Every structure is written in C-alpha cells, then in structure tokens.
Amino acid sequence: MIKYAILGFGTVGRGVAEVMAGQKEKLAAAAGEALELGYILVRRDMPDSPWKDRMVRDFSVIERDPDVAVVAEVIGGVGAAYDYSRRAILAGKSVVSSNKELVATHGLELAALAKEHGVSYLFEGSVGGGIPLLRPLCRCLAANRIDEVYGILNGTTNYILTAMDEKGQDFAQALRKAQELGYAEADPTADVEGIDACRKTAILADLSFGHNLDPADIPTTGITTVAAVDLELARTLGYTVKLLGRAKRTENGCLAFVQPHLVPLSHNLASVNGVMNACAIRGSAVGEVVLCGPGAGSHPTASAVSADIADAVRHRADPVVPDMGAPGGTVAAESALVSPWYVRADAAPEAVEALFSGVKPVYSTTGECGFITGPMDRLAAEKLLAGLDGRALWRVLA
Amino acid sequence: MIKYAILGFGTVGRGVAEVMAGQKEKLAAAAGEALELGYILVRRDMPDSPWKDRMVRDFSVIERDPDVAVVAEVIGGVGAAYDYSRRAILAGKSVVSSNKELVATHGLELAALAKEHGVSYLFEGSVGGGIPLLRPLCRCLAANRIDEVYGILNGTTNYILTAMDEKGQDFAQALRKAQELGYAEADPTADVEGIDACRKTAILADLSFGHNLDPADIPTTGITTVAAVDLELARTLGYTVKLLGRAKRTENGCLAFVQPHLVPLSHNLASVNGVMNACAIRGSAVGEVVLCGPGAGSHPTASAVSADIADAVRHRADPVVPDMGAPGGTVAAESALVSPWYVRADAAPEAVEALFSGVKPVYSTTGECGFITGPMDRLAAEKLLAGLDGRALWRVLA
C-alpha cells in the first residue's frame, strides 16, 4: 500500500480524488500495488467533505510522511505550486502535475531536480487535459524525429470560435455565453489572449526538439480581434478559424507561435469543436498523427493525473522524467515561415487581383472582402496588404 | 549493448531495420541502453541487402543467443509466427509484434506465457499501425472504465470508400485503383470482407473489457455490397460511409461487430480519409478521445514496433504484458443494439412515410430512395424494411 497526496482541492483536485477512488482496482493493477489517498492539502477546512479526514493545511505533514511516494500538484500558478513541488522532490517523492504554467516556466529545473533525486516528474495533464498526448509523444513515438507539433490547445477559445462559426455570434457574445456555462473564467485574459495555449506550445516544443523554450519568447496572438465576419468569409472560402499553437523544427532552430489560423474544412482539426482540443504530431517515421479529446475539465484532467500517479508508483525503481530539452533554446523568427494567408479587406475584386494575381476574393453579407493568397512569408504578405485597406491577416494551415 | 532480432523481412521488417537505424540515439535513450540489430530471420538469402551480414535462415541461432533480449515478430499469419513467438518467450526473450491475426487468436496464450517467463509481450503495431493506440488505451487511460472503442481500423477499405465518395467510383473501380497503388493486395478478401478490421476489433475489446473474445464470434460485414449510390445518398443526407469496428460494454456483456456505417459529416471520423485510420475510445473519466493516423505502411508500423522494442528493453526488470482479458468471453447479440438506420430502397416518399412516420427520404440521380430511421434495434428495422423494396440497411453512428 502506497500513499499519494493531492495538493489543491479545486476542480481538478476533486476530480483526482473521485477518479482515483472510482477506479481503485484498475489503478492498483497499473501501479503494481494498491494506492491510498494519504492527504489533501487545502487552504481552509471543509468539514462537509467526504475526504475531510485526509485534509491538512500544512504541507510539511505531507513532506515528512515517508509513506507518501507521490504528490499530485493541482494548485496551479507558480507560487506555492513551485515551492511544494521542489520540496516534495527534495523529500524523495515523485511529483505529477497538471499545471501548465509551472511546467512551461520551471519544468526544466524540476525535471533536473527529479532526476537528481531519483523520482519521477510527470505532467500528462498539463497539455491537452485528458487527451493521451505527452506520453504518446515521448514514448510511443520514440522512434521518430519529431518535426512538428500543432493543435487546438485551449478549450475556451475553441468554444468561442465554434459558437461564432455555428451561431454567427460576435466575440463578446460568445465570450459571455462561455462565461455563463463555466467554460471561461471571470477574467478570461489567459485564455482569449492565447497565454494558456502559449504555455502548452512551449511544453510540446520542449519535449519535441531538444531545446527548452521560454514561453515569453513565443509570439502569441489571441482571438480578441477575430470578428464574426471572418468566420463567415472563412466558411465561404472553405475554411474555419481555429487558434493554433504551433512548434516546428526548422533549419534555423525551433519555430513556435500561437495565432488564429484558417483551417481547411477537410482537415482533421476543422471538426474539433467546442471545448475539445486536438494536437497533430509529425514524426519522421509515422508521418502525422492527430490526438483529440477533452482538453480540460475535472474528470478528463484527473484521468491524466491519476494515470501519472499510477505510472510514478510503478516506476519507483526506475523513475520517469521526460527530457525537457537543453536550457537556453531560442525561438526562430515566425515571420520567415512561408504559408498561404487569409486577408480581410475593404477592396474591389480588381484591386485584389491587381495585387495578388489569379486570386478571386469572396464577399461577406456586409460587403467585406476576403481571400487566400499563395504561399509567402509574413513580410511579403504585409507588403502586398499595404496596398489595400487590410483588416485581418492570418496564416492558412496548409 | 542489447541485441534485438527481426523475424521476417517484408514491408514492416525492412521498416523496422531502417527506423531503428535512423533513430539509434533516441531509441537508446528511451530504452536506457544502446540497441543493436543482432539478426534478421529471412526465408532466402539477400546478398544485395545492406543488412546481409545479420541475416539468418535458422531461428534457433536467434533462440540460442543469450544476448538477444527482444524479438520483433513481423512475419504475419499464425504458423511460423506463432511457433517462433512461443519459442522466443520460452527462451526468455521479450516479443513485440505487429501481427494482428496472431495477437487476436493466440495473444491471450502468448501473454500468459510471457508473464510466466518474466518477459514483455507488446503489440502496439497490431492495431492502428503507427497510431499510438494500445499504450494510450492501457496506460494513459488506466484511470478509466473503458465503455466503448470504435473506429476506422482498415486502411484499404477506407481508401476504397473515400475514392467512391470523392470520385463517384464504384466498388470494383476503386478496388482496382487501390491494388494499382499497392493499398490493396492481389487477394483483397481479408481487407474488403472486414476480416482484418475484425481481428483489430477483437484486440481492442480484449484490452478494454476484461474478456478475451474469439474473432470468429464477432459478426463481420465488409464493404463489397456498398454501392456508389449509397455514398451519394449518404452525402445528401449529411453523412459519409465508413467501415467501423465497434466494441462496447453492455449490461449483457461485450458487444463487438464490424459493419459499414453512416457517419455524420460533423463527426471526427468523417474527415478520416484515404488510408488513414482512427479509433475513438470512451472512458468513464475522460469522456471520448479520438486517435488518428496512418494505420499501415512500412515506416508507420515500424514506428510502433520500434517503440515496443525500446520499451521491452527498458522494462527488462519489470516486464510489460497488457491484460488480454479472461478467457472464454462471449459476444452479446449485435441485433439488440438500438441505433438509427440508413435504408436504401426503391420506394415512393408516401410509402416511406407510411412505414416510418415523419421520415423524409432523399433520392439519388438514378431515382433510388434513401433515408435515416429513428433509433431501433435490428429486428425492428428489418421488420419495417420488409414492407419496402429494401436494398441496403446499415447502422448510423449516433
């Protein structure tokens, strides 16, 4: 019988307690021994909770208990979460986490510390929620040079874009609805500005290309400037709009960015709607695989965290620490990447065709003009666009 | 330095040699030590092969070499493949395999033997080719009661159905083209009759529900009776046609079958085209995840086999043998499953509406009638259909 502790008892923490209790036998089989919830670290007493006898408010109780082999950090943020993760590792305990902010900013350091102290550090739930994603990337695709990872990595923004597409809502309406349904927070900045997707992109890049990136170096554009008319024009052109996090191996190093993209309706990612997430991985042997599922939520994220707990216990003699890449990785210039572009402008067909030969624009019900250019880099696209009254310029996923 | 052997040097065997050589360092990191190709078992000499110095024609050379820790069986079939797999395990070697026929029919026995002899038995490449599928199902989703697995599990039939859909070809034309391109074999029976998908469905069910199924018990219908007009009617109704292998946990035991289905165009599986495969997994905590990618081919399948080789080496002290379920599992009656149905018939709208109240049929350019019923079991659907000149009756994925 091995004890584990849950740090934090919000949406994910509760989910972990419930999922671990619900699948006790299966998880014991996966772990190789029975698992017992030793402690839940909380900030205030919860006298009505069925788990009240496991709750503690002092992390050092957990830290000092030698029977606790694994600590699940689901607090979020980089304050207490970082401090407790470090202390747990120093105390010889494996740490599993769904905290993308912490993993993106301090994952390299915590992974090194875990290696040094002979414990596992796993964070499957930090990217893609319940989607099996990081273990497939690192283990199942171990025979591949990973060339590109890209996907829909944030459920809130995908919910909003889907609502704008399907219901013709504008951004503000769709955001309000998402907030009512609990899919967006009262302060939605981290989601709608792409910050959450940026952290996940950083983690994917760290695991894929051998270099550890600072999320602050990843150019990030959210969806606040996407207008209902863009969804309308995109659909007429045979596309939909998705916020993509992308990371790519290039000759000049690793390229990583987060931006709204036009995605062809025939592409696997185009049918990933609402709060679902999906990630494509391109590998040298496998070609491209796409993994999709619920990217957030209590039980889906707990599914990933609970599997990590079992895996950490199973590998106590042979700890698992994903390779987070060499420190100091730099991000290559996004502007140099060649792709087709979507342009929204106030322009007559003749003006468009004069600038972009052979390109036929479409028009929205409100008379705005939209078209797709041939492949070019960002500077070329911006230069051509300068000749028009351009209102939106986004990459097309090709 | 650990040695591995490749049994069989067809498409997959060559791929394994190439992929293992191409990603030597990454695989060594995953395995925890360097891996060396010790032997390739072939049936005839290949004096021009770059690997000719590793080739042997006598399995006992491999069997007797104590330095060979892992054997990759990529021969196919159940004759020599079964014999060598057994002997390798008895000789204390881990076995990895991409052989769905062998795993579906003798996997339970070989897994038990592997457990008994303290070696790993892994077969990620046997279902879904290069798609990370079985490891995610068994490991990443270990915190879930698996309720359903279903998907497009055969690339040949998906290529044919896609060609029929996109190019309006009939079955015979599309099959010929697939044969020309090497996507279908000269004798396409195992693919087009659904036998290959049936074996993969059996393996998925074995790993998901705790019971081992005999593939011979799984009702299987291939795509030979799918007509071009079905694709046309399906599209008009908002669907496409896919051959699905499905396995489902029910109150009356495990349900498993392989049949052509109408899949809504908005469903993730609808955009999985050509030789791509995809599998959806429904779990108690995660909800539904969908994993897609190349379901066959030399390097994609080798990607899975090579990762298994590394994993088997990594776990030499703690072997991995997936739970293939208890022997003697029975398959519940497919007929009892309630679903909407697609009907093709020679019928006037009034005749359809008299039998299926509220149902509005559509008509093909050749005047054939197609419609979707409400949810009902197979007997009810067949009974209602008896009143019409029915020509096709398939389930709709709801």
The reply to whether residue A142 touches residue B30, judged by beta carbons under 8 angstroms, is: yes
Burial of B182 (0-12, 13-18, 19+ CB in 10 A): exposed
- In a mutational test of the B interface, the residue from A235, A288, A289 whose CB has the highest number of chain B CBs within 10 Å is A289
- CB of B268 closer than 8 Å to CB of B291: no
* Facing residue for A287 by CB, picked from B130, B285, B310: B130
Q: Say how far apart CA B188 and CA A208 lie, in whole Å.
A: 38
Q: Which of B200, B248, B360, B383 is catalytic?
A: B200
- Domain positions in chain B are 2-130+298-314, 144-294, 338-396
Candidates A30, A293, A318; nearest CB to B290: A293
CA distances from A69 to B196, B274, B313 (A): 44, 47, 25
What is the structure's pLDDT at A357? 82
CA-based nearest distance B96→chain A, Å: 13
How far is residue A154's CA from residue A145's CA, in Å, rounded to a whole number? 26
Quick one: pLDDT at residue B388?
A: 86
Distance from CA of B174 to the nearest CA of A (A): 21
Q: Is residue A88 classed as helix, strand or coil in its secondary structure? A: helix
How many Å lie between the alpha carbon of B230 and the closest alpha carbon of chain A?
21
The tokens describing A256, both together, are 């990583």
The C-alpha atoms of residue B315 and residue A227 are separated, in whole angstroms, by 52
Instruction: Mutate one of B18, B98, B144 to test the A interface: name it (highest A CB count within 10 A).
Output: B144
Active site residues of A: 200
CB contact under 8 A, B285 and A15: yes
Predicted model pTM: 0.97
Shortest Cα distance from B345 to chain A (angstroms)? 30
Residues with Cβ within 8 Å of residue B30, at least 6 apart in sequence: A139, A142, B307, B310, B311, B314
Q: Cβ B271–A272 below 8 Å, yes or no?
A: no
Residues 6+ away with beta carbon under 8 Å from B243: B152, B153, B154, B157, B158, B161, B194, B197, B222, B223, B258, B259, B260, B261
Cβ contact (<8 Å) for A285 and B29? Answer: no
pLDDT of residue B355: 84
Q: Of B229, B226, B220, which is closest to residue B258 (Cα–Cα)?
A: B220
Distance CA A223, CA A203 (A): 21
CA distance B5 to B31: 15
Which residues of chain B lie closer than 8 angstroms to A30, CB-CB? 139, 142
CB B184 within 8 A of CB B191: yes
Q: List the CATH code of the domain at A2-130+298-314.
A: 3.40.50.720
Contact B26 A143 (CB under 8 A): yes
Note whether A302 contacts B141, CB cutoff 8 Å: no
Residue of B nearest to A136 (CA): B132
pLDDT of residue A388: 87
Q: CB-CB: which of B20, B266, B285 is closest to A271?
A: B266
Tell me which residue in B30, B290, B294 faces A287 most closely, judged by beta carbons. B294
The minimal CB distance from B306 to the residues A136, A143, A311 is found for A143
**Which parts of chain A register pLDDT below 70?**
none
Report CB contact under 8 Å: B267, A271.
yes
Residues of A in contact with B288 (CB under 8 A): 293-294
Chain A residue numbers with beta carbons less than 8 Å from the beta carbon of B271 are: 266-268, 270-271
Q: Which of A23, A286, A291 sits opposite B300 (nearest CB)?
A: A286
Contact A299 B287 (CB under 8 A): yes
B365 burial level (CB within 10 Å; 0-12, 13-18, 19+): exposed
Q: Which of B133, B279, B303, B314 to mutate to test the interface with A (most CBs of A within 10 A)?
A: B303
Of B30, B130, B289, the CB nearest to A292: B289
Q: What is the CATH number of domain A144-294?
A: 3.30.360.10
Helices marked H in B78-117 — which ranges?
Answer: 80-90, 100-116
Is B289 within 8 Å of A287 when comparing Cβ atoms? no
Q: What is the pLDDT of residue A64?
A: 98
Instruction: Find the residue in B nearest to A309 (Cα).
Output: B143
Residues of B in contact with A135 (CB under 8 A): 135-136, 139-140
Distance from CA of A49 to the nearest CA of B (A): 21
In terms of CA atoms, which chain B residue is nearest residue A124? B140
Closest chain A C-alpha to B2 CA, distance in angstroms = 16
The helix-helix angle for A155-167 and A171-180 (nearest 10°) equals 120
For A143, which of B273, B289, B307 is closest by C-beta distance?
B307
Provide the β-strand partners of residue B72. Answer: B6, B96
Query: CB A290 to CB B293 under 8 A?
Result: yes
What local confidence, expressed as pLDDT, does residue A385 receive? 84
A94-97 sheet: strands from edge to edge: A55-56, A35-41, A2-7, A68-73, A94-97, A121-122
In chain A, whose CA is at the least distance from the CA of B137? A132
Residues of A in contact with B294 (CB under 8 A): 286-289
Are the CB atoms for A203 and A209 separated by under 8 Å?
no
For residues B88 and B3, the answer to whether their CB atoms sit within 8 Å is no
- Give the sheet arrangement for strand B68-73, strand by strand: B55-56, B35-41, B2-7, B68-73, B94-97, B121-122
For chain B, list residues with pLDDT below 50.
none
Closest chain B residue to A135, measured at CA: B140
In this predicted model, what pLDDT tens digit does every residue of A211-242 receive, in sequence order? 999 999 999 999 999 999 999 999 999 999 99
Q: How far apart are CA B309 and CA B31, in angstroms?
A: 8
Tell me if ipTM is over 0.85.
Answer: yes
Q: Would you state the pLDDT for residue A248?
A: 97
Distance to chain A for B288, nearest Cα, Å: 6
B242 to chain A nearest CA, in Å? 15
Taking the C-alpha atoms of residue A325 and residue A389, their distance in angstroms, rounded to an integer, is 43
Of B130, B286, B323, the CB nearest to A303: B286
The H or E element spanning position A276 is: strand A276-283
Sequence-ordered alpha helix ranges (H) in chain B: 11-22, 24-31, 59-64, 80-90, 100-116, 134-135, 155-167, 171-180, 189-192, 195-209, 228-237, 298-314, 349-355, 378-385
Q: Which residues of B touch A140 (CB under 8 A)?
A: 124, 132, 135-136, 304, 307
Q: Which two tokens stand for residue A45?
A: 């007493």
Q: Which residue of B has its CA nearest to A276?
A: B289
Distance from CA of B356 to the nearest CA of A (A): 30
Q: What is the pLDDT of residue A390?
A: 87
Q: Which of B240, B265, B266, B268 to mutate to test the interface with A (most CBs of A within 10 A)?
A: B268
**3-state percent helix, strand, coil for chain A, nearest multiple of 5:** 40, 25, 35
User: Looking at residue A354, what is its pLDDT?
Assistant: 87
C-alpha Rg value of chain B to the nearest Å: 23
User: How many beta-carbon pairs under 8 angstroms link A with B?
Assistant: 197
Rounded Cα distance between B162 and B176, Å, is: 14
Half-sphere exposure of A146 (CA within 13 A, CB side): 30
pLDDT tens-place string over residues B1-15: 899 999 999 999 999
> H/E element holding A104?
helix A100-116
Residues of B in contact with A27 (CB under 8 A): 142-143
Chain A residue with Cα closest to B130 = A286
Cβ <8 Å between A303 and B141: yes
Among A161, A143, A151, CA closest to A291: A151
The neighbouring-strand residues paired with B371 are B343
Contact A299, A129 (CB under 8 A): no
CATH architecture of B338-396: 2-Layer Sandwich (3.30)
What's the rounded Cα separation, in Å, for the pair A310 and B143? Answer: 9
